[in-house]
Amino acid sequence: MIFDSFDSIIKNKGRIHLSGIGGVSMSALAELLLSMGARVSGSDRDHSPVLEKLSALGAEIHVGHLASLVDGASVIIRTAAIHDDNPEIKRAKELSIPVLERAFAWGLIMQKYETALCISGTHGKTTTTSMASHIAIEAGLDPAVMVGGNLPIIGGGTLRRGSHRLIIAESCGYWNSFFNFYPTIAVILNIEPDHLDFFKDINEIIASFRAFAERTPKEGIIIVNADDQNAMKSVHGIDRQIVTFGLSEKADVYARNVQENNGFFTFDVLIKEEKYATISLNVPGRHNMYNALACAAASYMSKIPGEAVSKGLLSFYGAGRRFERKGTLNGASIIDDYAHHPSEMKATLDAAFSMGFSRVICLFQPHTYTRTKAFLDDFARELSRCDIVYLLDIYAAREKPDGTVSSEMLASKIENAVYCPDFDTAVSLLQETASEGDLILTMGAGSVSEVPELLLKLNSATARH
């Protein structure tokens, strides 16, 4: 059965069931469907504040997956973590209820917008999507936003409803999910080896991004990083308008008069030798210059005034888990970051070391066995830059261990590393070690994000006594 619209379901008061509704993208999708007037139900493995929020908005929420939950539903949307052996999916197929992948459902909705700015890349998608959202809001465009991290300007969530003129969407290439999107402006920030549990090699990854870029219409625009060889290779010869950005004048949109102050950059954006905007970033790191330049290029092509770009980026202090300041412990700053690839780690550590801390103490949780095994030496190289390294067990996510890689193996490659078998051990060591002027950097894409809150509770308990 070909499914092409939610309109008739909403009109006829049908029910849309989301299996795995608690995830970042799925919960945002549920919220958007509710705002469109849809009847929404959903299930997830564990209870969470996200489920409470959706319930308060009117969704019918269930903890746990049961076949009976899909009875009477008009369509099922599932996250990538929900497989064919899930009882809800098995029942849906028995009843011939359409089952859609999450990205496909987003693509259906995306087609309703006049302009779809889709931001892709191996790294920087969430930050760049967030930056672009700040600019569009500053310009008064009332954008819809779908982003992979909590963003304060849209209420601390991952979704802004907006009008049907413009949608700004983070676009992930894992499992080629961005093949379901319909960009009118496609951004490619960078391309590196990653997700090697799905992609065979870098050439297959480049081909995937090329296919994504080709999803733009003939009159569409592709924004690409001129300083990234793989990104440029992905768009070579494509019959679309290509606009490049970078740090040198070989790009169409480039930086000049660059100044750095403790890791924070100010620079002019030039287009065809004319100044378009002056940007002062309140997020650290040279990598964020690239993210800002990508936004500037997309904004220029969307006829957004340079002043809105300057003001929008000046108001951006980061998205959730992207070099996010959490508080202090023993006078040490606590910063939480999502970096889980060696290149992301390098960018985060470059920013950290440029900020004048006495020491950088890193608590890292590797993410997935395949990534850890593929980049073991690269992780070791980057982590060896830190003054002290604490390593949690690998966060399995969708994978199962095969005994060929572990955090202990990674620790053995780093002179100043200590393996921590659990959060309690890590928190205790951080409390003993950290002092005034240090940086505690919690890093990884898994449950390590819970540690800063544990450290802050320790701080509060110490203050009370």
Cα–Cα dist 420/392, whole Å:
5
Q: Cα(109)–Cα(327) distance, rounded to whole angstroms?
A: 38
| 126 has catalytic annotation | yes
Q: How far is CA 276 from CA 130, 136, 179, 203, 400, in A?
A: 20, 16, 32, 35, 50
Catalytic residue among 126, 127, 128, 370: 126
d(CA 158, CA 188): 21
CB-CB contact of 393 with 421 (8 Å): yes
Cβ 222 vs Cβ 238: under 8 Å: yes
Written as six digits, the tokens of 185 are 């402006």
Catalytic: 328? no
Q: Which of 88, 138, 170, 324 is catalytic?
A: 170
The one catalytic residue in 115, 125, 128, 129 is: 125
- 289, HSE (Cβ side, Cα atoms, 13 Å): 24
> Which pair of tokens denotes residue 41?
């139900």
125 flagged as catalytic: yes
Residue 429 identity: L
> What long-range pairs does 376-380 form, CB within 8 A, spacing at least 24?
376/405, 376/409, 376/410, 376/413, 377/413, 378/342, 379/342, 379/345, 379/410, 380/410, 380/413, 380/414
d(CA 371, CA 384): 18
Going by C-alpha positions, the residue among 132, 98, 78 that lies closest to residue 245 is 132
Contact 109, 131 (CB under 8 A): no
In terms of Cα–Cα distance, which of 125, 126, 167 is closest to 144? 167
Does residue 295 contact residue 132 with C-beta atoms inside 8 Å?
Answer: yes
Q: Which residue type, as a one-letter code, is found at position 183?
A: P
Active site residues: 125-126, 170
